[in-house]
Structure 1
Amino acid sequence: MRYLSGLLAAAPLLGLVSAQVSTSCNPLNSTDCPSDPGFGTDYLFNFNTTPSYELWETTAGSVTYDSENGAGFTIKKQGDSPTIRTLFYFFFGRVELLLKVAPGVGIVSSAMWLSDDLDEVDWEFLGVNNTAASTNYFGKGLQDYHNAGVYTTRDNQADFLNYTTVWTKTGIDWYIDGQHVRNLTPDAANKTRNYPQTPMRLSLGIWAGGDPSLPEGTREWAGGNTSYDQGPFTMYVKSARITDYGGGSEYAYGDTSGSWESIKVTGGNSTAYKAIHEVQTPKLSISQKWNNLPAGARIGVYVAAGVVAAVLIGALLWYCIKQRRDGAREARLATEMEKMDL
């Protein structure tokens, strides 16, 4: 694949999503941050149904799931930016995504890894260009926008393409449909300082970089102003295979250096591992179970509930009528007894 220098000229704004991320406790500033729940395993998540609430969370908007396209991330109106994120972390590892990019002026499809101290690894796709994919990285939240690489693809809006990232302490490699497109070494990342090296979790989402409320430079990078009446705009992710090389049930920062050597790994099976391997069916909330039912089944439940309600109402009416009749009969009997006593 060839390098697209024209798109790279927009690199100061590539990875803009990173400017919008935050952390509740940054281990670079505190030694009291809680440990991160590890993944500690390898698993293929097929998004044909809602993923377990023990493993994934929806951080913005709502995401749909179906057997044909997997997870659907849709922008229908201004302010929409549906996003899901793993509740577990991986400490070095491999992530393989089957993803179809959303079309649309100003629309940005993205997959992002982020750590508590704001190390970051990205894939980003612009809806105005269906043959380009951007890779990026950041270290410790430092806003260095000269790290992007942009590569050609086949039509990424018509088909699901495979986007794979392999991350170790010695390098990060990006692949598109099995073809190696980029390698990053720690030394090349500002002499290791900007090299992502702390436990990460994965976020998948879509946002409108062309929203009229955003700065002009952002809208230009995203391809222009987004017209929401041209939507809806949808990114699809059919599956995500995640491998945690760290193998831990928990990961903790041993000091404020942010180096991989400082990370303390607790062994044993993680909560995520147990949820996947020790329970045949991932746990779902009642609302998630309801949403996963076929439309016909939900209609059947409504009909059955209506029948049951009708039966109960009928039984209640019959009981009330019977009680009324019994009461009237007892009243007549009491009247007759009074006449006899007279």
Structure 2
Amino acid sequence: MLLRFLLLFTPLALPILASLKNLSNCDPLKKDARKQTPIPNSTNCPPDPAFATETSFDFTRTSWDDDQFTSFWTADSSTIKDKRQLALDNTEGKGAAFIVWQDGQAPTLTSTKYLLFGKVSVQAQAAKGPGLITAIVLKSDSGDEIDWELLGAYENQAQTNYFYDGQPLFNTYNTTHHLDTSSFSQPHTYAIEWTPASLTFSIDGVVRKTWHNPSDDSDSDSDSDSVIPASKWPQTPMQIKLGIWSVSNASDPGTISWAGGLPDWSGAAAAAAAHAADKDDLSYAAHFLSLQLQDYAGGCNETDSGSGGGIEYLYDERTTGWQDIDLKGCANRAAPGEYPPPPPPASSSSATSSGGGSSSSSSSPQPTQGEQSASPTNTATDSGKGQEPSETGNQNPDPSETGSSDDSGNAALPSGRPSSPLGAVVFLLWLLAV
């Protein structure tokens, strides 16, 4: 009886899925890549094409008709049908404007290629408004996910989340970081560096959080403030996803509270419809200016001369770790733990990038050290965790209660969060009672 009472009056404990759009429809860890895939309607996953280089993309110099844009990015079907959701030109130098004006919209760009460890830096200006979430996501076909989330209700903070293999890790690997300047009025550069040994989040070149991978599979240090168990470390190739999404009346109350309330759509639809004429009224728009990327290519530092410089990542249900991932087209792989990978012992064929709008790429997978950004306006200086959050919005989330997201295979950025420790306990009891 008590259990039923708790379940009836604690709806905040139940997760809800809300997200960017997910274009992946094949989980290699649940398929058998040993079988040939030219057969129509085959259930096996094709290899993931790799960036395998250093490259960049400039959103201030691209358009829907740009061949470099279409070779670098894929938009979700809803945005392709209604391109008002993604303005790529005439944005007064603010880059790509991702626009929402009603429930259910989540304009999303997904990279056509993958990286297996590396560094991604994105210069973005967040959308302002309760219930709006500007997202920078690394997501693998098997569910590994690393996120930056910028909540439109709180202008002086940014959140990071991580989860492994599509498993919800509520209130575990998430952190709220303080910003000294607004995320709405000017762009900041949000970076992720991911290696087999560490996962580092930076803002404007300042490291804000580093997670470490222990040397073995023991969970003995799993309670540490900076350790993710080796058994839960992200280690499958990831695509890059950029976009904006919102909560709605159908969302879980805990998710709505986390997002600072529901969006107010009044006036936003007209602004979006008239975006070509009135750029100042795009209040419900997230702007992405540039992306810089260094794919460490799973340690590959020399490509096969017969591969044309291209690398593909291939894995299946037999894969137990990143070392098992086949790097097709790679002639030489660095020793484990050497990241970025060192130069090859002799001259080699170089990997190339597909490029992007006014993009550039290096001649090999060798990344440079240090933050690369498009001249951020301001620099954040605090360590990030446990900082006093902004007073913007109706309810600012406590860093200890902004949990990592859930995943159902249909969402690139699910955001189910128990609203409190008690809610998490009740949610567990609910699962046991079902």
Task: Name which of 30, 33, 55 aligns with 1:43.
Answer: 55
Structure 1 position 243, deviation (Å): 1.1
Q: 1:14 to 1:151 in 2, by over 3 A?
A: farther
Structure 1 position 151, deviation (Å): 0.5
Supply the AA of the counterpart residue of 1:252.
L
Task: Name which of 127, 134, 146 aligns with 1:102.
Answer: 127
SS in 1 for 2:30: coil
Task: Name which of 156, 172, 178 aligns with 2:183.
Answer: 156
State the match for 2:69 in structure 1: 52
More strand by share: 1
SS in 2 for 1:217: helix
Is 1:201 the equivalent of 2:239? yes
- Aligned counterparts of 1:42 and 1:12: Cα–Cα separation in 2: 41
- Aligned counterparts of 1:64 and 1:218: Cα–Cα separation in 2: 28
State the match for 1:243 in structure 2: 294
Task: Name which of 145, 163, 170 aligns with 2:197.
Answer: 170
Aligned residues: 270
Task: Name which of 240, 259, 263 aligns with 1:226.
Answer: 263
**Aligned residue runs from structure 1 range 60-75, under 5 A:** 60-61=78-79, 62=83, 63-66=86-89, 68-75=93-100
Supply the AA of the counterpart residue of 1:275.
S
Task: Name which of 101, 104, 114 aligns with 1:79.
Answer: 104
Alignment gaps of 5+ in structure 2: 1-11, 34-44, 215-221, 269-282, 301-309, 331-347, 361-434
- Aligned counterparts of 2:16 and 2:191: Cα–Cα separation in 1: 19
- Aligned counterparts of 2:199 and 2:251: Cα–Cα separation in 1: 32
State the match for 2:323 in structure 1: 261
Query: Are the counterparts in 2 of residues 14 and 148 from structure 1 also a CA contact under 8 Å?
Result: no
Percent of residue pairs identical: 28
More helix by share: 1
State the match for 1:306 in structure 2: none
Supply the AA of the counterpart residue of 1:24.
N
- Aligned counterparts of 1:16 and 1:35: Cα–Cα separation in 2: 28
Task: Name which of 244, 253, 273 aligns with 1:216.
Answer: 253
Task: Name which of 5, 12, 17 aligns with 2:19.
Answer: 17
Alignment TM-score, normalising by the size of structure 1: 0.71
Query: Are the counterparts in 1 of residues 18 and 245 from structure 2 also a CA contact under 8 Å?
Result: no
- Aligned counterparts of 2:115 and 2:322: Cα–Cα separation in 1: 12
Per-residue CA deviation, residues 131-175 of structure 1 (Å, 9 max, x unaligned), is 010011111111112211001012110111011111111111010
Which fold has the larger relative contact order, with Cα–Cα distance below 8 Å and residues 6 or more apart in sequence?
A: 2
- Aligned counterparts of 1:280 and 1:157: Cα–Cα separation in 2: 26
- Aligned counterparts of 1:267 and 1:11: Cα–Cα separation in 2: 47
Aligned-residue CA RMSD in angstroms? Answer: 3.1
Query: Are the counterparts in 2 of residues 102 and 233 from structure 1 also a CA contact under 8 Å?
Result: yes
Structure 1 position 221, deviation (Å): 1.1
Q: 1:254 to 1:213 in 2, by over 3 A?
A: closer
Q: 1:140 to 1:258 in 2, by over 3 A?
A: farther
Query: Are the counterparts in 2 of residues 121 and 137 from structure 1 also a CA contact under 8 Å?
Result: yes
- Aligned counterparts of 1:183 and 1:132: Cα–Cα separation in 2: 17
Supply the AA of the counterpart residue of 1:125.
L
- Aligned counterparts of 2:113 and 2:14: Cα–Cα separation in 1: 31
Structure 1 position 199, deviation (Å): 0.6
SS in 2 for 1:181: strand
Query: Are the counterparts in 1 of residues 16 and 251 from structure 2 also a CA contact under 8 Å?
Result: no
Larger radius of gyration: 1
State the match for 1:192 in structure 2: 230
Q: 1:208 to 1:276 in 2, by over 3 A?
A: closer
